[in-house]
Amino acid sequence: MLDPRAFATALAVFCWLASGAAAAEFAPAAAVAQSPDAPGDQGMLLVGRYAGKCVAPAGESAAAGARLVQTTCFDRPAMSWSVVAATGGSRLVNRASGLCAVVVGGSSADEAEVAQVPCAQSGASGLWTMRASDDWVVFASVQSGKCLGVKDAGIEEAGPLVQWTCVDEPSQQWTMSGPGAPSSWGPKIAMPIVPVAASTLRNGKVLTWSSWSRFQFAPDLGKTFTSIFDPETGTATEKLVTNTGHDMFCPGTSLLADGRILVTGGESASKASIYDPKTNKWFATGELNVPRGYNGDTALSTGEALTIGGSWSGGLGGKIGEVWNPATGTWRKLKNVSGDALAADDPLGDSLGDQHMWLFGADDGWAFHAGPSAEMHWVDTAGKGRIVEAGKRGDDTYSQNGNVVMYEAGKLLKVGGAPSYQVAMATSSAYTIDFSRGPWKPVKVAKQKPMAFPRAFANSVVLPNGEVVVVGGQSFPITFTDSHAAMLAEIWSPKTKSFTRLAALSTPRNYHSVAVLLTDGRVLAGGGGLCGDDCDANHPDVEILTPPYLLNADGSYAARPTIVKAPKKATWGETIEVRAEGYASTFALIRLNAATHSLNNDQRRMSVKVLSADGPSFRLKMPKDRGMLLPGDWMLFAMTDKGTPSVAKIIRVQ
């Protein structure tokens, strides 16, 4: 959902391009000026495209002479700026202090620092021109002709802003992020464990688990701490699972056709376990032929489950595909489906390139492989299996610890990631991938406007209206740290193909964090860490986002429809009768799913066709594509014409 104010701001900033001005030229910003007192003008965040941090006075000071630095972004006045027209250029005015950004001493030297002073005293050293692209802007001092950036292209907190000779690099490029959409995070809620994995259950509660310890992993002790979180009461019930002999840290996950959750590999690399939400019990299923951890799994249209890759545990390489049979509980090798063939070369080592594969079940037992490698593939799970090349993900590169979510049948949004598992700059790029035409047909890839914040180790959650919330992550991913965290969430709209920022998290959600959709349409985010009792990055807690579609423009709660009656089961192409009150007009299905390590392959959304509506009575046509509408439990949401969703009813597709 794009806030109208954000759109107006962006349009004003970039409208001079439409006049025929070349993108390589600098232009006085008179045409893009914003009055600091204009009605509804809340200013903009200036987000560094490289480090993902915001411009603010040091310590968020309101004092004249305070140096400008880069700092972790929040929606605070000291980080908000207006571009104000002036003779010969424009001035950057801080919303909190009312002071203007100037080059200190009117210097023309490289690395001259930038500070805030009273605008009446800013003179020529406080005049800036702008060069804009579709995605970012560059500010150049009118006096010196040099560009605004961070000293030494640094990425650390409180790095000073300076001017230096203009270069075509992200360290001198800024995203102008307009006012965020209405949204809010609830209070932080303590959990008994660090929730490294999470799955929304059909009763609205959330299953989470960690490792043999509540707060750390390794060695393999064959047991796992789990917890059931109740969003209604804000309480969690802990359970230590020992009967399966399985430490379920760093596994693959699949939601099965009968509503159970399959967990494969991980710390106990050969084990596979199943959770039954009907009985709240765990039990072992057949062991893997190939031990693995950090593997990618997906449910299949046949009711089976596929796993590939996972050299984190069980030895390096050779992680061929395997298919789990629900009738026998055993695994069948796919000798012609090599995890190595689907992997990428990670600069940090061979154990990392075949991990966290983005796999999506499709028709006739096929699966689509979207990455993290730049090359995409189709996987046929029949017989010994086979791999069919599906082309590259546009101009995107290897994007480990980015993530992908299906926002409509056969259509994926891919966001973020980094060119190595960690210790590399993350990307803010986004792409849509359309594989809806199936195997052997061309896959369509389209580049989207980027996020405001580079992110790896983030999580993405699709909403009933087709928008996608992106939560947490780091601009420079490092495991078990809170550094370089993206605190502001973002939301992507399939209508505008762009992102709008949302409210800020209370806690960094980086490595080992999760995010899932709740049955009431809110988003739960939590975890991070699992690095020991004394680790500052340990976050045994969760928080819940109220997205924009649940709020009015003034922040009050929007009226929601209610599904009074819906069938408990349905099949492909069936016409179902649903009773929904409260101005319901559209419907969507979202599959129950499980998230861990920025991976949520079972997450998918599908629109539902309304055949007829008579008051509160609706006749809906279930999708007939078995490859998209995988068997299993789905959340059915009714929505108003503004996209405000009901609480979901669960329908089992079989």
Alpha-carbon torsion 172, 168, 475, 460, what sign? positive
The catalytic residue among 511, 549, 557, 583 is 511
- Type of residue at 349: G
Task: Detail the DSSP E strand segments found in 393-497.
Answer: 403-408, 411-415, 430-434, 444-447, 459-462, 468-471, 488-493
Q: How many Å apart are CA 523 and CA 545, to the nearest integer? A: 5
Contact at 8 Å (CB) between 602 and 462?
no
Residue count (the chain): 654
The DSSP-derived string for 488-551 is: EEEEEETTTTEEEEEEEPSS---TTEEEEE-TTS-EEEEE---B-TT-TT---EEEEEE-GGGB
Active site residue 511: yes
Residue 550 structure tokens: 């649940």
- What phi and psi values does residue 170 have, to the nearest 5 degrees? -60, -25
Alpha-carbon torsion 42, 8, 48, 458, what sign? positive
Q: How many Å apart are CA 545 and CA 537, to the nearest integer? A: 21
First and final CA of the chain: distance in angstroms?
33
Lookup result for tokens 């017989």: 383
Q: How many Å apart are CA 522 and CA 200, to the nearest integer? A: 12
Task: Detail the DSSP E strand segments found in 158-231.
Answer: 161-164, 174-177, 184-185, 189-190, 197-200, 206-209, 224-230
- Type of residue at 569: K
Angstrom CA distances, 95 to 34, 36, 44, 45, stand at 12, 7, 9, 10
Strand 649-653 and strand 569-570: the pairing is parallel
Task: Detail the DSSP E strand segments found in 366-473.
Answer: 366-371, 375-380, 386-392, 403-408, 411-415, 430-434, 444-447, 459-462, 468-471
Residue 479 structure tokens: 């495991």
Report the run of H or E that residue 81 belongs to, with start and end.
strand 80-86
Contact at 8 Å (CB) between 72 and 54?
yes
Q: How many Å apart are CA 605 and CA 400, to the nearest integer? A: 23
The DSSP-derived string for 542-573 is: EEEEE-GGGB-TTSPBPP--EEEE--SEE-TT
Choose among 572, 653, 610, 648: nearest CA to 231: 648
Residues designated catalytic: 511
